[in-house]
Amino acid sequence: MTTKSNKKLTLLPQAITARNTGVDLDLDWVSSIQANTSAIERRASSIGSRRSIKKQHQAAWLLQAVKCMDLTTLSGDDTTGRVRRLCAKAKNPISKTILEKLGLDSIKVGAVCVYHDMIEAAVSKLRGTGIPVASVSTGFPAGLSPLPLRIAEIEYSVSAGASEIDIVISRRHVLTQNWKALYDEVKDFRKACGSAHMKTILATGELGTLRNVARASAVCMMAGADFIKTSTGKEPINATLPVSLVMVRAIREYHEKTGYKIGYKPAGGISKAKDALTYLCLIKEELGDQWLNPELFRFGASSLLGDIERQLEHHITGAYSASYRHAMG
């Protein structure tokens, strides 16, 4: 292979962020939150066209996207072998040849996300790498198990070695505007997580309106969420730019009022490198460079990695390779 550029890339350093302890539920704050759907959709439609990221800059942004990726397998036919292969990819997500051409020694993803029964396999494979294991919990994806069982599920996953827990909220609390019930539920989940970071999945495709998304985001952050996340990936509608714009602006308002920085995770339907660039632009424009690191931003995707690796290979060779050359494991 021939390289088009030997200039070394520089990636953003990881930030150090104080963990959100939550605040008292403020119903006046919640009721004051509105969402102008037409304005939100206009702004969202402009995000992908406002910046043109090319050549060396595009390669650097795509590598940052890899660092912010939660490699995920949440299928009924998951096996320990599949999880171990995914973990091997997590440790070396981009081929050594490509990294050498870009002037980098190594890179790793943000986390590996699995069901509870696969935590042990993931933890053993990732031991010593610094890559956290995340586990979905609380009756994922519907969140309709009895509350004591959902809390126990979190505790089991933490004891098994998961350092991040992706919980799902009860959508009915949002749809009925029962913000106290949602706040209490998420606060119970946060307590059960202990030192494990909690990503709160809103399942935005099932919340009805953007105003509901905005209010649910605020309530979950008040209850102590470390991240707010769009989707389980199992809903008919998953991550979208309008929803993402609403959620990151809720994060910005919460930070302005409390001083706490909350992470954001779009999940489901993000499979192309150009989509990753658009989401990174959204975060940069709405929240700033401090959020462009795995401590505060994650992609919930796996198929995305293959397309990013293809784009990086095109950057250094000028030719696109077949997708089967960039398998997940």
The encoded tokens of residue 199 equal 């990503």
**How does 223-249 read in b/e, with b if 16+ C-beta sit within 10 Å?**
bbbbbbbbbbbebeebbbbbbbbbbbb
The residue annotated as part of the active site, out of 229, 261, 275, 307, is 229
Q: Are 11 and 294 in contact (CB under 8 A)?
A: no
Burial 313-323, CB ≥16 within 10 A → b, else e? bebbbeeeeee
In whole angstroms, what is the distance from residue 37 CA to residue 176 CA?
Answer: 20
Q: Is 70 a catalytic residue?
A: no
Q: Which amino acid is at 3?
A: T
Catalytic residue at 265? yes
Catalytic pick from 67, 125, 166, 226? Answer: 166
On the question of a cis peptide bond just before residue 141, with omega within 30 degrees of 0, the verdict is yes
Q: In the chain, where do the E strands start and end?
A: 69-72, 111-114, 133-136, 164-168, 197-201, 227-229, 263-265, 299-300
Contact 133, 95 (CB under 8 A): no
Residue among 67, 226, 265, 307 flagged as catalytic? 265
Q: Let me know if 187 is a catalytic residue.
A: no
Contact assessment for residue 197 and residue 163, using Cβ atoms and an 8 Å cutoff: yes
The residue length of the chain stands at 329
CA 197 to chain centre: 12
CA-to-CA separations, 322 to 24, 71, 309, 326, in angstroms, rounded: 53, 21, 11, 8
On the CB side of 124, how many CA atoms lie within 13 Å of its CA?
10
User: Which residue numbers are catalytic?
Assistant: 166, 229, 265
